[in-house]
Amino acid sequence: MGGGSCAGTRVASRGLRVRLLVDANLSPRVAARLRVAGHDAAHVADCGLLTASDDQILAAAAQDDRTIISADAGFGTLLALGGQAKPSVVLLRSADQLAPAGQADLFPEGEHVVVGDVVEKASCLIEALSLDPPP
């Protein structure tokens, strides 16, 4: 496995800040866009996990208390088979079919991307993203 703890870069912002780990099937631009939104986001390449197995990525995310963002539905299966509740997984269905800029555009700048219980509880699926910032 790669480089242990993964230090993302957080940009100061208002509102909820979430620790995120962006999977290899998504562009590093996704992590950059999430950092602009104020989240502590890192791409697996930043953590020495670019060629790691899904099990290794799950373990690293759990260790660093990060939510995984991926286009790989296999993470949910691994969590279920292992009886694990953590880490949380956000599945961006078919996002791996988009160009890197298109993947980043799934997360509009300045909007809260992952909010509330999504990060605290298991997995979720996002097909189209249009979240309004909380009041």
HEC assignment per residue over 35-64: HHCCCEEEEHHHHCCCCCCHHHHHHHHHHC
> pLDDT tier at 33 (50, 70, 90 boundaries)?
confident
Token pair recorded at residue 111 = 């909007």
> pLDDT tier at 52 (50, 70, 90 boundaries)?
very high
Q: What does pTM read for this prediction?
A: 0.74
> pLDDT tier at 85 (50, 70, 90 boundaries)?
confident
**In the predicted model, what is the mean pLDDT of the chain?**
75
90 membership: H or E segment, kind and range? strand 89-92
Residue 82 has pLDDT above 90, yes or no: no
pLDDT at residue number 4: 52
d(C-alpha 81, C-alpha 45), whole Å:
26
